[in-house]
Amino acid sequence: MELMEIGERIAELRKYKDVSAREMSLSIGQNDHYINKIENGKALPSITALYDICFYLDISIKDFFDKNNNNPSMVEEYITDYMRLNDSSQEKVAALVKDLSRD
């Protein structure tokens, strides 16, 4: 993932959480322009800052780098709920998802 892709990914995930770059910056203990600089490709987060960003967004670092998953916290919630179902219900949900994905 390149510098601009990291900023774009943060912007995308931040928008799903519906928070401003300023609010997110301050919430992770940075100055008010920190996230904006990353999103604009003017800065790159350290590993520690990336961990703080992911923690704030309620996602794993693995999910951060999964560009095919636009809303990882929702997917994680669905998986958790799915795992609580019995086998019969899981089969019904799987069939429904397959049907819906064909549309």
Residue pLDDT, tens place only, 28-37 = 999 999 999 9
Other C-beta atoms within 10 Å of 87: how many? Answer: 7
Instruction: Tell me what pLDDT residue 1 has.
Output: 66
The predicted model scores a pTM of 0.71
Residue pLDDT, tens place only, 74-92 = 788 888 899 999 999 999 9
Cβ pair 23, 57 in contact under 8 A: no
Instruction: Tell me what pLDDT residue 27 has.
Output: 96
Q: From its phi and psi, is residue 62 left (phi > 0), alpha (psi between -120 and 50) or beta?
A: alpha
Instruction: Tell me what pLDDT residue 75 has.
Output: 82
